[in-house]
Amino acid sequence: MGKTWSAYGLIPESFDVRAILRRAGVPYSLSPGDLISSTMVTSGTMTNRIDQLVKAHVATQLSLVEGLSEKENRSLNQLLRKFLGSVGGQ
Regarding predicted confidence, which is higher, 89 or 85?
85
Tens-place pLDDT, residues 8-45: 778 888 888 989 999 999 998 999 899 999 988 999 99
pTM: 0.68
Pick the closest to residue 15 from 6, 28, 25 (CA basis): 6
Tens-place pLDDT, residues 35-63: 999 988 999 999 999 998 899 889 888 99
Pick the closest to residue 60 from 23, 13, 10, 3 (CA basis): 10
pLDDT for the residue 76: 95
pLDDT for the residue 89: 55
d(CA 75, CA 81) in angstroms, rounded, equals 10
pLDDT for the residue 78: 95
Q: Is it the case that residue 64 has pLDDT exceeding 60?
A: yes
